[in-house]
Chains A and B, each alone.
Chain A
């Protein structure tokens, strides 16, 4: 099987065959919820970091009992529902954090209701000031100690350095893959890229690096489409769901770039590692990278990235998305509207989503109309 097919298959499965192999070889797998959890530490402890997703969820009924759907987001409920149904029983533990109110409560409920064999909460500050970086470094120290105690290992500076290098190589290769979309007629679709990104958060980093290298080599020889398509950027939050990508691409568009969590934010910036201050440098790096709106007053940074990448990728239109009940992404709509004149491409009205795509028809209608409006 070619690397592309393999990666897409891994991205669509939850869990995947590589995780099964890892477990069969006696390896531990630890789930984590958000990209602000430093996966480098988990891997340096010898465990495979696996980002919990909602892929495979068909509803949220079990989770809804614990976590009211009145105003709680459907993504963490979908993840919690899968945990209730045993999909995440392969995990040897779960690591939570305060990514948002919905996410941290879903973690707490997971721990309370399902009592996983190992759990740890990482408090991640929301500013980049010195006191917050110091506090986050202390939190990483606690995570390190907790992992060492639970797994019976010592996380050496060498192991951490090696882990940082491996994941930075992941990020660099994903960025190379991203840059392929600067071509007029790239050989991949945005939907395929999104599957690959989903795979990237659930594979051993060595395997991912190998597959990405093979894929980049394959792409050189892959045929290009005959006609260019309407170039679209997605900004906001779509999670690991590919519905929006598919709706755009089925309507004649091509998602060439994004500014999303399961997307560019997870690989855009490499992590710094200073041997003199391993945890401090990692903490600063995580808090300083391309941000999520969970970080205070960072809209300006994201907007600058949005405007620049829209130019770099010659984007024809930007689709802004968020999940229902998300305050953090929700407020961005106000400011994107206010600043839209500064963008070189038109931006859609916010597409509000519920996870699991129950309203696929509405999403498809909206995306068809948007692509038509772009008039290409």
Chain B
């Protein structure tokens, strides 16, 4: 009988309120960064992009002239092309200790933030409004993937009233008109960055950044192909956090390319040797919408109790299209701009949130088909309203077209007070029992 025995879940102490009026980058340096650097050698490489991002946070404290605030779904290539450092406020919530995140959410609620705001976006409201984060030289914002991005735009406008913002109106459609609309705005975005930073865009640098970006897309595409194998050579749990985080934050950098090359080599080696995860793969699970990161024990529990391996996550892995075959060394500004618009429109989460709900549904079908999923877990981040509205239709289509069942449950990706890992296990247990019985021919 599956149970929680043998899996150590995290414990938290929320009885004491932490002092949130501290330097959050110091907190991250003294906790998360130390922990990542102390990981044993064979797995330390996995966390390199997170450490790189933390290094960037420290660098920008010394170089305020390079701080460009960027919404997490705004393509980072633009910032790197201008030789600036992108600072994504929400990313802090993703890497800070859970107890701090929860304390910051509470502080935001004290300031009047609606209590339905998620930890990801709600955790930075208080430090932004209280002026505890680095002051931006420029702000790149956009209106995807959800209404909260629009609300967050108001937070930024009110937090930095003297700083002009550049806001990208993300298109609804993925057609040529949508690409052109985005490209036209990005052109203005470069002019904005030139004005705000006092620097001219170096076309060669833009070319190199776009080349790095294309290479990163190519590598992640190849890694993904390996992940479709049975058993999956790269079980998607801890590594997924790094991969998606790296793509959200570092696309366009040489370091991301180097890391993905290591990742690909590892995937290839494991594939050729037929190595899967730590445990036997019995069920292949695709996570839909969200996947909680505050306690990876829940994935251990799934593997141990059911052999249920998370093979993909459809809203965080931006590899929907193979990269184009371009000569980046000679590409014109116009060609690069169009390519950047395409990547921006296909950015993970933004892609599924900004347009018609069938994009979300069809992406779910595509990933489940290609990854040979046995089951889907719609872990509904409780503020992703547009995607929650697509949940029922997704569930129906998965069953009708692929015969794959989908569990729908509420989570907050970062805040265990919404639904704890143990509660998640309780909700998944009967579902995974049913899927197992189905696969073994014991049930319909």
Contact = CB atoms under 8 A, between A and B. Distances in A.
Interface of A: 65-68, 70-73, 98, 100-102, 104-106, 108-109, 112, 121, 123, 125-127, 129, 131-132, 135, 138, 293-294, 296-300, 322, 324-328, 330-338, 350, 352
A123 B174 CA distance: 13
A335 B154 contact: yes
A70 B169 contact: no
B383 A327 contact: yes
B61 interface: no
Interface in B265-301: none
A138 B357 CA distance: 22
Given A127-B169, A135-B181, A296 B385 contact: no
B112 interface: yes
A105 B386 contact: yes
25 contacts: A67-B388, A67-B389, A67-B392, A68-B380, A70-B380, A70-B388, A71-B383, A72-B389, A101-B147, A101-B353, A101-B385, A101-B386, A102-B385, A109-B389, A127-B167, A293-B150, A296-B167, A299-B157, A322-B114, A324-B116, A327-B385, A330-B114, A330-B116, A331-B113, A335-B154
A135 B171 CA distance: 9
Interface in B17-60: none
B14 interface: no
A129 B187 CA distance: 13
Interface string B151-181: 1011111100000010101011100010001
Given A102-B385, A293-B154, A112 B116 contact: no
Interface of B: 111-114, 116-117, 125, 129, 141, 143, 146-148, 150-151, 153-158, 165, 167, 169, 171-173, 177, 181, 184-185, 188, 353, 356-358, 380, 382-386, 388-393, 408, 410
Contact of A328 (B147, B171, B393, B410): B147
Contact of B151 (A98, A105, A328, A352): A328
B382 A297 contact: no
Contacts of B382: 70-71
Contacts of A132: 169
Contacts of A104: 386
A112 B393 contact: yes
Nearest to B184: A131
A258 to B, nearest CB: 20
Contacts of A127: 167, 169
Given A68-B388, A123-B171, A330-B151, A299 B184 contact: no
A325 B116 contact: yes
Contacts of B353: 101
Nearest to A121: B172
A334 B113 contact: yes
A223 B356 CA distance: 53
A143 to B, nearest CB: 13
A327 B147 contact: yes
Contact of B169 (A135, A138, A330, A334): A135
Given A299-B158, A334-B111, A334-B129, A100 B147 contact: yes
Contacts, number: 148
Most chain B CB inside 10 Å of its own CB: which residue of A105, A112, A298: A105
Nearest to A349: B112
A260 B388 CA distance: 27
Contact of A350 (B112, B380, B393): B112
B181 to A, nearest CB: 5
Contacts of A293: 150-151, 154
Nearest to B408: A68
Given A67-B392, A332-B154, A338-B158, 9 more contacts: A65-B392, A101-B146, A123-B173, A129-B169, A131-B169, A297-B167, A300-B157, A325-B116, A327-B148
A21 to B, nearest CB: 36
A132 B171 CA distance: 10
A164 to B, nearest CB: 25
Contacts of B185: 129, 131
Contact of B391 (A68, A298, A327, A352): A68
B180 to A, nearest CB: 9
Given A135-B181, A296-B143, A334-B125, A327 B410 contact: no
B172 A123 contact: yes
Contact of A105 (B125, B143, B389, B408): B389
A298 B165 CA distance: 12
Nearest to B168: A127
A72 B388 CA distance: 8
A331 B128 CA distance: 14
Most chain A CB inside 10 Å of its own CB: which residue of B116, B148, B150, B392: B150
Contact of B389 (A102, A121, A326, A350): A102
Contacts of B143: 126, 296
A321 to B, nearest CB: 13
A66 B393 contact: yes
Nearest to A122: B172
B388 A327 contact: no
Contacts of A138: 177
B15 to A, nearest CB: 27
Most chain B CB inside 10 Å of its own CB: which residue of A98, A296, A300: A296
